[in-house]
Amino acid sequence: MSEIRRRTPLHTRKPLEAPGGAARIAELPFLGKLVLRVDPQAGSKAVEAATGVPLPAEACTATGDADTAILWIGPDEFWVITPRDGETAAAAALEQGLAGLHHQVADIGSYYTAIEIAGPRAREMLMKLTMLDVDARAFSAGQVAGSIFAAAQAYLWQVTGDDQPGGPAFRLFVRRSMADYMWCLLAEAGFEWGMPRQTPVGGETWRLER
Amino acid sequence: MFLITCPYCGTRDQSEFSNAGEAHVARPEKPEDLSDEEWADFVFLRNNPKGLFAERWIHTAGCRRFFNMLRNTATDEILAVYKVGETPPRVSTAEPATPSGEAPIGSGNDAVKVERPEGGE
Amino acid sequence: MSTQPNRRASGGLIDRETTIGFRFDGRDFTGHPGDTLASALLANGEHMVARGFKYHRPRGIFGAGSEDPTALVQIGGDATRTDPNTRVTEQEIYQGLEARAQNVWPSLRYDVGAINDVFSTFLPAGFYYKTFMGPLGNWMTFEPFIRKAAGMGVAPDGPDPDRYETVNRHCDVLVIGAGPAGLMAAQAAAKSGARVILAEESAHVGGRLLSIDPDYTRIAGKTPANWASDIADDLADMDTVTVLTRTAAFGYYAQNFVGLWERVSDHLAPADRAANLPRQRVWRVRAKEVVLATGSVERPLVFHENDRPGIMLAGAARTFVHRYGVVPGRRVLVFANNDSAWEAAFDLQKAGATISGIIDLRRDIDGALLGKAAERGIGIHPGAAIVGTTGAQRVSGAQVRRMSGETGVEGAVTAIECDLLAVSGGWMPNVALFSQSRGKLAFDEDLAAFRPGQSWQNERSAGAAAAVFDLAGCLKTGAQAGADAAKKAGLTATAGRMPKIEGGERVQGTPRVLPEIPSGRPKHKVRAWIDLQDDVTTKDIKLALQEGYDSIEHAKRYTTTGMGTDQGKVANMNAFALVAGTLGKPVWQVGTTTYRQPWKPVTFGAIAGQHVGAHFHPRRTTPAHAWHAENGAVFEPVGDWLRARAYLRSGESFDEAVQRESRAAREHVAVLDASTLGKIDIRGKDARTFLNRVYTNAWSKLAPGKARYGLMLGEDGMVMDDGVTACIADDHFHMTTTTGGAASVLTHLEDYLQTEWTDLEVYLTTVTEQWSVASLSGPDSWRVVADLCEGIDPDPETFEFMRFAEATIDGVPVRVFRISFTGALAYEINIAADYGHWLWTRVIDAGRKYAIQPYGTEAMHLLRAEKGFIIVGQETDGTMTPGDLRMDWIVNDRKGDFIGKRSLLRSDTARSDRKQLVGLLTDDPALMLEEGAHIIATETEPAPPVPMLGHVTSSYISPNLGRSIALGVVKAGGSRIGERLWATRRDGAPIPVKVTETDFLKLRETGDV
């Protein structure tokens, strides 16, 4: 019996693209994601030594690159993004480097998944879901924001700039349980440019009465 | 929907935030020393003025930080935001003359919809 | 050659090359692209399109745009798509469009409801209040009949097949209205590089420019329409500018949050609508600065019999002539109080109509106008008024008399024939959005109307909206407003050069505004309409004032003036003026009613947007969800979560499944998906101190590898949450919360850490969905764990209750807890959620030899009730202390302060007669109590008010006890153990119950059950 041991919340969803590359969405499976809580004043050197990436100095920004990055989430809260299966080593390195300093490292690799939203229409798709100002003037490569997307809280990170071939690329980190909801609404947002519509998982039997 | 300036993340839509009631109500250091009445005052009683009000907000969808805001509840004018532990800044705002009155502009209520011409009674 | 008798040979934004067929009220008509339903019907000589709301009198086309009060029809033949209350002046025609008159039976022309008109004397203001109040007029009896007669149009039936969308936009400058002022504003702002949105309510930019004679006016050397469309085209080419037509700003909210409603494809035949575009969109715009270029609305004149079809605003008549190439009447009589209507007369004459006269309330008319009228051979009647009209389904003539002072008429009655009566009471700045923005209105004595006064938000008005009516002034104030807005938004901007204007039109001058025009008739015989949609006459308003409703807001509600779907766009000012005039007060003192959002009705579909059906709300599902769904699970929503409630086998009922699962969880082994529980990772040297303060019990000595149950109180001493917290290391804990409490508990804890105990070194991070949880219950549960997990010996003899250990399954790390919510031997296996589905299938496979069964939340509830465990939110309701739950054992008084501790000593919470949690056993073991049933002390229900001791909180048939069990809260319940009480029920005598302890399993052991 073949068994799939590890599944992302969107493992049944195939990447979607609007004709002509106007927009595309794809799940980026199994990215390493760690929550790092530390006073940046006290911990920045140790964090950089452990991960090779400096802590973001500015609020709502990211450091590093598409593979390994640190995202500013709050004044003493960061997300460390690593390649697949890189989180265990990163966590160990952080624990070791920050030993003796008040800190927290928590694995949230399974908690959230990343949906990449890219292409010239990516911004307009996001505008259908969030009140966050995602106009190119207000939100550019390297920026990060926690906000509300449709009825779900999520974190948005612009990874590559608008000048890149294929247009800007964003990553939306969404809770596992809300990933399918978000995926389908993103596809719906791209329908204007020809992205295929998606039906949320559903159809179960409900019983409400006692 | 308001625009709220989180002291950490900057200006965002109100949907990212939650209100957390009156600000600057410190939990008593020694609750056991308080009378029932004093304790009940801390637990149950909050001010709810029409006019200038210091209140707490949380940037729920963003950085998850609590912070303070000075808001004119008669007009919904946000006058200042500041971090927990900071002293409220001095602000000036037009407040209702009486607790049930209206601010001279901004409430949208009948009493202030129309300008009174000079000398008009 | 057009078959439309009133279509002009040329002119207007009409494509005469293409003919469109449409149907109105069962008859076929033609029109052209560019036509609205109104212009196409007028081109065909049709004026009457509706009937009044109350008296069912014939109603015609009164305006030419969104201001029209009464030309409302039902659009669309398809019951799922039909749209009631659509203004014919806004609905563009398309091939095959079907429209019907509404509020008529059997037909528009022969309507039985018109009988109401005959009895109009018996339908005064406040008719319903007067008639159906008190014992004689029983509203409940009459309501069904009245409902049938009331209402406008028919709501669509069934799910809406169309798509809608909500989009969000931020911009520097939002310009509302694309008339001359709006276009200049958008241009000036756009040149600065600002992000600009220009929203135009109608299908074309240009506004009032489209309603003036293109032969006379040139702007920058172009016809007004071309100048406007060229500017809009240039703007649309800019990346930073969005030009939206068919888009109305419907609401101005706090901090420049403005709602726009775009009708994307309503103007197209269903077959021509782009499949990828929504039918309508709502744009939620957050603008740094707003320019209100919303133009002005023409004011009707209030005279006797002013409601017949064929009576139309003079400005609207000009719009039909110039914008739509339609002559709305052949014999036109003009009735005015200002100069602009004279231009209408000249234009209509030029377009081929005969002008049968201009009647002007003013005695002194500008010489140039008099000269032009004389040149054109138009008879004029200065200082005169219309005192009545004739015509059944269209106006056929009017009676004219000389004015005598302000309130009288004198001299002979002149009857003048006409088929169109063009009226103008002057132009009022359209201040609706300005007032919504909470700006203060100023009363302009010259206009006798309100204009924008002091601003409250970051907006400014320009052009006619700011009471600037001449073309040069509109262009200039528009450009200035646009530049000012861009500057305030942080850009460098100038108004730029003004385009050269040649020609131009005469504007209104100073109108002579009378709240009501004298007719010389006895008061009770005057029928002069203020509000054409709601059928409110001057008589109704005066009656309301006479009866004491002299606040404008009261008068509005009593008479319903301005309360229709048009919100009194043309009617309100006349109502305010009449109230002021009658009360002898200045208009500013009477004030206005509220210019409420929306500016015009917006469909529910557009407001709901894409968030409908399966996209309505997140349905949170666990990693093993697909397995549950494939294995007979029926689900229940818990917050946003869907949890498996029971797994039904073929032919099995829900109750049977629950009984079977509950037995399995005690007799051998069953497994529950507990992934939805809230989980918080707690880290820091002060973690124990923190736990001591947030839970009622002590945490100082909990060793690593151990777990403990905790009860969390609010500062009021009431139970707010509960759960098990495990110690991973001295400075590292794993807390669980209830499923529903996950988010609020974290916020509650963060509140204390961030604002009260800032000295504590503790970090909290939610890990709720990081872990997928399989909860195994039953005597064989440890065997399944032992077979499955490596690196742990779960033997209950050695791995004690409340232990916790790390292990692996095929090399995948797991955390195993020996904790129990069922009272049976139980283990929880936590695994990273990516492996959650796999874990579940592994547990099921490994458990097969022990006949493992999945169990759902219903069995879980039942099992914990057998053990007497509470569910926060079921046994508690925000008023239960630990003492009330008779869980005093969990409150540690000696460990120091904790949240809610002081409240437990308050006189009220310390009372001994509070409701306390007890078990309730019926005498008849087969009888199940109803949850929520009241507990009383007597065998029969006494007369109300019934003294109630408490109520049933949980009730089940327990397969493991072989009888019904219940939990309940009862006054001083702890001291009533063994007492007999009764539980009420809906149908039947109260049920006798015995008060017991809550742990039924223990009661069984001791033989007490």
pLDDT in tens, C468-495: 999 999 999 999 999 999 999 999 999 9
Rounded to the nearest angstrom, the minimum Cα separation between B29 and chain A is 25
- Tell me the CATH number of domain C300-425, given options 3.50.50.60, 1.10.10.10, 3.30.70.20, 3.40.50.2300: 3.50.50.60
Q: Please identify, among A77, A107, A137, the residue that sits at the C-terminal boundary of a domain.
A: A107
What band does C405 get if pLDDT is binned at 50, 70 and 90? confident
CATH class of the C912-1009 domain in this structure? mainly beta
What part of A 167-206 touches B (C-beta under 8 Å)? none
Residue C767: which of A106, A127, A150 has the nearest Cβ? A106
Rounded to the nearest angstrom, the minimum Cα separation between B96 and chain C is 16
What does the pLDDT average to over C722-750? 97
User: C1-161 maps to which CATH number?
Assistant: 3.10.20.440
What does the pLDDT average to over C318-345? 97
Interface contact flag, B120 C588, Cβ < 8 Å:
yes
Torsional class of C27: left (φ above 0), alpha (ψ -120 to 50), beta (otherwise): beta
Q: What is the pLDDT of residue B1?
A: 83
Integer CA distances (angstroms), C22 to C13, C47, C76, in order: 19, 16, 11
Q: Is residue A156 classed exposed, middle or buried when 0-12, 13-18 and 19+ CB atoms within 10 A define those classes?
A: buried
- Structural domain span for residue B23: 3-95
* Chain C residues within 8 A of A133 when measuring between CB atoms: 170, 286
What does the pLDDT average to over C362-380? 96
> How many separate domains does chain A show?
2
Secondary structure of C653-692 in HEC code, one letter for each residue: CHHHHHHHHHHHHHHCCEEEECCCCEEEEEECCCHHHHHH
Integer CA distances (angstroms), C959 to A178, C552, C891, in order: 37, 68, 33
Residue B65: which of C754, C758, C897 has the nearest Cβ? C754
Q: Which of B41, B113, B116, B121 to mutate to test the interface with C (most CBs of C within 10 A)?
A: B113
* Chains contacting chain B through 3 or more C-beta pairs under 8 A: A, C
Distance in angstroms (rounded) separating the CA atoms of residues A157 and A178: 18
What does the pLDDT average to over A163-186? 96
Q: What is the pLDDT of residue C834?
A: 98
Q: What percent of chain C has pLDDT over 70?
A: 97
Interface contact flag, A74 B1, Cβ < 8 Å:
no
Interface contact flag, C255 B1, Cβ < 8 Å:
yes
Residue A109: which of C626, C766, C832 has the nearest Cβ? C832
Residue B63: which of A73, A132, A153 has the nearest Cβ? A73
Interface contact flag, B61 A153, Cβ < 8 Å:
yes
What band does C142 get if pLDDT is binned at 50, 70 and 90? low
What does the pLDDT average to over A98-121? 98
* Chain B residues within 8 A of A146 when measuring between CB atoms: 9, 16, 59, 61-63
Residue B64: which of C750, C758, C905 has the nearest Cβ? C750
Q: What percent of chain C has pLDDT over 90?
A: 90
Same-domain check for residues A187 and A132:
yes
Interface contact flag, B39 C758, Cβ < 8 Å:
no
Interface contact flag, C618 A151, Cβ < 8 Å:
yes
Per CATH, which fold does C771-862 belong to? Gyrase A; domain 2 (3.30.1360)
- Structural domain span for residue A154: 20-29+111-191
Query: Per 3-state DSSP, what percentage of chain A is helix, strand, and coil (rounded to 5)?
Result: 25, 30, 45
What does the pLDDT average to over C791-804? 97
Given a cut of 70, whether residue C499 has pLDDT beyond it is yes
| Closest chain B residue to the Cα of A155, Cα to Cα | B62
Q: What is the pLDDT of residue A48?
A: 97
pLDDT in tens, B48-81: 999 999 999 999 999 999 999 999 999 999 999 9
What part of A 75-114 touches B (C-beta under 8 Å)? 75, 77
Distance in angstroms (rounded) separating the CA atoms of residues C453 and B84: 39
What band does C131 get if pLDDT is binned at 50, 70 and 90? low
Contact between residue A204 and residue C861 where contact means Cβ atoms under 8 Å apart: no
Q: Which of C276, C616, C680, C838 to mutate to test the interface with A (most CBs of A within 10 A)?
A: C276
pLDDT in tens, C504-541: 777 888 899 999 999 999 999 999 999 999 899 999 99
Q: What is the pLDDT of residue A1?
A: 40
Instruction: Answer whether A131 touches B (CB < 8 Å).
Output: yes
Residue C409 per-residue DSSP state: E
- Between chain B and chain C, the number of residue pairs with CB atoms below 8 A apart is 96
Interface contact flag, C614 A199, Cβ < 8 Å:
yes
What does the pLDDT average to over C746-753? 98
pLDDT in tens, C215-245: 999 999 999 999 999 999 999 999 999 999 9
Interface contact flag, A146 B63, Cβ < 8 Å:
yes
| ipTM at complex level | 0.98
Given a cut of 80, whether residue C947 has pLDDT beyond it is yes
Interface contact flag, A131 C284, Cβ < 8 Å:
yes
CATH of the domain at B66: 3.30.2270.10
Place of tokens 């929907």: B1
Asked if residue A201 is part of any domain, the answer here is: no
> How many separate domains does chain B show?
1
Strand C420-424 relative to strand B77-83, pairing: unpaired
Interface contact flag, C255 B3, Cβ < 8 Å:
yes
Residue C440: which of B56, B75, B115 has the nearest Cβ? B115
Given a cut of 80, whether residue C1004 has pLDDT beyond it is yes
pLDDT in tens, C611-654: 999 999 999 999 999 999 999 999 999 999 999 999 999 999 99
Per CATH, which fold does C164-296+429-502 belong to? FAD/NAD(P)-binding domain (3.50.50)
- Provide the β-strand partners of residue C461: C292
CATH of the domain at A150: 3.30.1360.120
Q: What is the pLDDT of residue A2?
A: 47
* Chain A residues within 8 A of B16 when measuring between CB atoms: 131, 146-148
CATH of the domain at A88: 3.30.70.1520
Q: What is the pLDDT of residue C141?
A: 65
Chain B interface residues facing chain C, Cβ-Cβ under 8 Å?
1-3, 13, 18, 20, 26-27, 30-32, 34, 36, 39-40, 42-44, 56, 58, 60, 64-66, 75-76, 84-85, 105-108, 110, 112-117, 120
Given a cut of 90, whether residue C41 has pLDDT beyond it is yes
Q: Where are the domains of chain C?
A: 1-161, 164-296+429-502, 300-425, 678-766, 771-862, 912-1009
Asked if residue B65 is part of any domain, the answer here is: yes
Per CATH, which fold does C678-766 belong to? Alpha-Beta Plaits (3.30.70)
Given a cut of 90, whether residue C865 has pLDDT beyond it is yes
Interface contact flag, B44 C751, Cβ < 8 Å:
no
What type of residue sits at position C494?
Answer: T
pLDDT in tens, C162-194: 999 999 999 999 999 999 999 999 999 999 999
What band does C1008 get if pLDDT is binned at 50, 70 and 90? confident
Residue C702 per-residue DSSP state: P
Given a cut of 90, whether residue C106 has pLDDT beyond it is no
Name which residue leads in pLDDT, C639 or A2.
C639
Given a cut of 80, whether residue C161 has pLDDT beyond it is yes
* Chain B residues within 8 A of C744 when measuring between CB atoms: none
